[in-house]
Amino acid sequence: MQSDLRSMKRTPRFFRIFPGLLLSVAVAGSAMLLEQAERSFTGAAWVESLVLAILMGTILRTLWKPPAPFESGIHFSAHTLLEAAVALMGAAVSVEMVMKAGPILVLGIVGTVGIAIGTGILLGRAFGLPSKLAVLIACGNAICGNSAIAAVAAAIDADSDEAATAVAFTAVLGILVVLCLPLLAHTLHLTQTAGGVLAGLTVYAVPQVLAAAGPMGATAVQIGTLVKLVRVLMLGPVVAVSSLIYARQLPVCDAKPRSCLSRFLPPFIVIFMGLMTARSLDLVPHVLLAPLRTMSGLLTLVAMAALGLGVDLRNVLAAGPRVVAVVTLSLGVLGDVALLVAGMCCQG
């Protein structure tokens, strides 16, 4: 046994991570194919590939535990690739969009995100959820669902079980929000502007904003997309603050200033903020924006598959009722605050 461990350590790193990396890529590829099948048969992807990847990985892990040679690559995919994906997300956001939204709406978005995160964490702790899981659910609800959960999970070093649980349950309820939002807007007789603000503040992904705001009209789609993009811009500061708070809870650094600095400001967060700043200053060539966005999405997809491959489904199901309650109540608070902000913006 010891000789096997010594031989594994002498194996070049690429060959150590290759089996688990290949398995993660295979699960991610299967999720992409399944999403395409959804689009072909139903005309829309009701369950996105990110969610499918983590669910498929979890099911596979429940039915079959990958042998030891796969562990290194699965860990690499779930952590290193995820950090790389989050870093590249910085190129997708720009401060310029804040200027287009106007000060009242920007303050409303910032306030909504802050209230949603704070309330979500308090609800999670009140229902007895682990602190990191409560943070993941709160940030996922408040900002952009899967992407926010993935980014914050990397920043606070959350377990695979916690990330998978947050993604799975928020994704399901997020779809329900998309389906119910047009009906709610019609029932409340909201204007297109108010409906767009409400969609942008409550729906997770930009494509989902289009689906939710589309029935309200073109103005609702434009306003909803703008609000959603500004809301996504909050991801950088939230991830940075989460990382700093998590770092303060770790043992005090002793003899290595560089490692101490990386605890408080991990390299992937520095890259994220750097790319966001460069994008805001128009220093990133436009020809690179689409490839960077695509690469970030693919890396996130593989990381989600790897997270699923590290999840014990029994732990997720055990937390199910409490997580559903927290996500539902958090969404309720988010919706109420969003309606208030939508009303204020329309009056202004």
pLDDT along the chain (348 residues), means of 10: 51 85 96 93 79 85 89 89 82 68 83 94 93 92 84 85 81 75 88 89 78 81 81 85 78 48 61 84 90 89 85 67 88 91 75
Q: Are 216 and 185 in contact (CB under 8 A)?
A: yes
So what's the pLDDT on residue 171? 72
pLDDT of residue 24: 96
The whole-angstrom separation of Cα 187 and Cα 194 is 13
At residue 264, the pLDDT reads 47
Side chain identity, residue 134: A
Determine the pLDDT at residue 255. 43
> How far from 31 is each of 22, 25, 168, 189, CA to CA, in Å?
14, 10, 14, 39
pTM of the model: 0.67
CA-wise closest residue to 302 among 79, 124, 72, 40:
79
In this prediction, residue 217 carries a pLDDT of 84
Instruction: Compute CA distances 263 → 13, 84, 131, 158, 180, whole Å.
Output: 24, 16, 19, 15, 42
Burial (0-12, 13-18, 19+ Cβ within 10 Å), 191? middle
Amino acid 216: pLDDT: 86
pLDDT for 6 equals: 54
| Cα 319 from Cα 68, distance rounded (Å) | 27
- Record the tokens describing residue 187, joined without a space: 């029932």
Q: What are phi and psi of 218, to 5 degrees?
A: -65, -40
The confidence score (pLDDT) of residue 259 equals 45
Cβ atoms 153, 245 nearer than 8 A: no
